[in-house]
């Protein structure tokens, strides 16, 4: 190839390098996998079989970012306005082209612009972080957090040992409380673990992703736990 088509090969390499640089940008035209609602810090195993997503995974690995966005489907838009970045931890390729991909949730994001590339969705995004509070607001937030965490633990104990074993196998055990509830950019890990366990409506799960107030998120979780406790 280098001997016979050196100029064409150089041109292709230049195009490829420019494309890889463009794909490495994690705020513009990031690849979007439209499937489910993913959460920060929560594992999200995937079975990749569609050609467009096989191409997406290959590009994510080639660029070295090993990251892509996950959004749930939304009628009329193609996918929801909020999602979660996923990082590829491991990929097992099968002989027929399919693959099993182990991923874990990272940063939350809001979609600014939608696009497409070679059959799969893309988006320009901005990342979301929780708004921090201090003083008396922080004291009230800590009290609310501890109260809802206890409520979640009570529910977890009431589901019964058999259901608890199933939850632990699929999602891991309930995370402990953080020493500083505002230290993680996405808030306490146990909140996202609980949301992945409860299997709520995707539109409502997406609402949780969009909230940058830990107080508001805990308020919603309290209502959900009260509903599940009653039923």
**Helix, strand, or coil here: 99?**
strand
What pLDDT shows up at residue 24? 58
Q: CA 148 → CA 11, 134, 151, 225, distances in Å?
A: 59, 19, 5, 9
Mean pLDDT score across all residues of the chain: 91
The strand pairing partners of 82, in sequence order, are 110
Q: Which residues fall within 8 angstroms of residue 49, CB to CB, at 6 or more apart?
A: 97, 98
Give percent above pLDDT 90 in the chain. Answer: 72
What is the mean pLDDT of the segment spanning 107-132?
95
Q: Is the pLDDT of residue 49 over 60?
A: yes
Note every long-range contact of 185-189, with CB atoms under 8 Å and residues 24 or more positions apart, other chains counting.
Answer: 185/107, 185/129, 185/130, 186/40, 186/41, 186/107, 186/108, 186/129, 186/130, 187/130, 187/214, 187/217, 188/145, 188/149, 188/214, 189/40, 189/41
pLDDT at 22: 63
Question: Residue 190 above 60 pLDDT?
Answer: yes
Tens of pLDDT, residues 13-44? 887 777 766 655 677 889 999 999 999 999 99
pTM: 0.85
What's the pLDDT at 109?
A: 96
Strongest mean pLDDT among 21-25, 70-74, 167-171: 70-74
Q: Where are the alpha helices (DSSP H) in 71-213?
A: 135-158, 161-171, 189-198, 202-210
What's the average model confidence in pLDDT over 168-176? 89
- Cα 175 to Cα 152: distance, rounded to the nearest angstrom: 11
Average pLDDT over residues 97-119: 95
Task: Give the pLDDT confidence score for residue 23 in this predicted structure.
Answer: 57
Q: What are the backbone angles phi and psi of residue 38, rounded to the nearest 5°? A: -100, 155
């Amino acid at each position: 190839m280098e001997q016979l088509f050196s100029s064409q090969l150089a041109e292709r390499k230049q195009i490829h390098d420019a494309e890889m640089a463009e794909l490495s940008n994690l705020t513009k035209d990031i690849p979007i996998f439209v499937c489910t609602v993913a959460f920060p810090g929560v594992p999200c195993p995937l079975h990749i079989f569609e050609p467009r997503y096989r191409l997406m995974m290959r590009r994510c690995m080639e660029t070295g970012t090993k990251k892509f966005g996950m959004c749930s489907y939304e009628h009329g838009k193609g996918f929801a306005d909020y999602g979660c970045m996923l990082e590829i931890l491991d990929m097992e390729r099968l002989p027929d082209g399919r693959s099993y991909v182990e991923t874990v949730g990272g940063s939350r994001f809001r979609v600014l612009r939608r696009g497409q590339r070679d059959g799969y969705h893309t988006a320009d995004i901005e990342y979301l972080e929780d708004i921090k509070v201090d003083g008396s607001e922080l004291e009230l937030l800590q009290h609310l957090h501890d109260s809802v965490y206890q409520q979640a633990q009570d529910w977890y104990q009431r589901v019964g040992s058999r259901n608890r074993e199933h939850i632990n196998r699929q999602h891991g055990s309930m995370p402990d409380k953080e020493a500083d509830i505002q230290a993680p950019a996405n808030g306490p890990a146990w909140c996202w673990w609980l949301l992945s366990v409860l299997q709520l409506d995707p539109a409502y799960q997406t609402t949780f992703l969009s909230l940058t107030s830990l107080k508001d998120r805990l308020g919603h979780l309290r209502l959900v736990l009260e509903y599940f406790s009653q039923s």
